[in-house]
Amino acid sequence: MLKKFTQFPVICLLIGLLFLASCGSKKYVAQKSTAARAADAMSNLKSKQLYRFITDWSGVRYKLGGLDKNGIDCSGFALLLQKQIYNVELPRRSKDQADAIKKKSYGHLKEGDLVFFSFGGKEVDHVGIYLNNDFFVHASTTRGVIVDDLTLPAYQNTLVKAGSPK
């Protein structure tokens, strides 16, 4: 009889713990990583020529003034992409490219539109090409040509203009 009585509190404790654990559980919903979402953006491109261009240039290192696979800067990358994919001539510098676009609001951007940033003050000093689903491709000074997430604070806080070439 004594043995049954000492097991009772242990059983009650286990039942109580199970009850508390079930009440506090939440359904876990996995979030896609930035890399997976970037891959989705690439797979959702309408232009397969744009897809090939980006994959061909991905990882090319940044080089100020560069215009080839030995190194390229952001405005050079935008210039080559616009010329080869859309047959559009752009000025060489990102500041001048920003002056040569028809401005659009962020919510109306389409594949191939240009996005401009000001990291160093008031003037445009960086450019990328919008893809879809808040992703863009650009020549990053630290990572080279890369598909990146526009929703990152580093970009949201410095985005100054966006639009399509005139």
Whole-prediction pTM: 0.81
Catalytic residue among 12, 23, 108, 126: 126
* Residue 138 annotated among the catalytic residues of the structure: yes
Q: What is the mean pLDDT of residues 40-68?
A: 97
Is residue 28 classed exposed, middle or buried when 0-12, 13-18 and 19+ CB atoms within 10 A define those classes?
exposed
Residue 6 is predicted with a pLDDT of 60
* Residue 12 annotated among the catalytic residues of the structure: no
Q: Which residue has better confidence, 80 or 7? A: 80
Q: What is the amino acid identity at position 88?
A: V
Return d(Cα 46, Cα 111) in angstroms, integer: 8
Q: What is the mean pLDDT of residues 85-93?
A: 97
Q: Is the pLDDT assigned to residue 95 strictly greater than 70?
A: yes
Task: Give the sheet arrangement for strand 114-117, strand by strand.
Answer: 101-103, 159-165, 114-117, 126-132, 135-140, 144-149
* Residue 74 annotated among the catalytic residues of the structure: yes
Residue 20 is predicted with a pLDDT of 46
| Range name among 15-19, 32-36, 91-95 with the lowest pLDDT average | 15-19
Chain centroid offset of residue 2 CA: 67
Chain centroid offset of residue 163 CA: 17
Mean pLDDT for all residues in the chain = 88
Residue 34 is predicted with a pLDDT of 85
Confidence of residue 1 (pLDDT cuts 50, 70, 90): very low
Confidence of residue 26 (pLDDT cuts 50, 70, 90): very low
Residue 17 is predicted with a pLDDT of 46
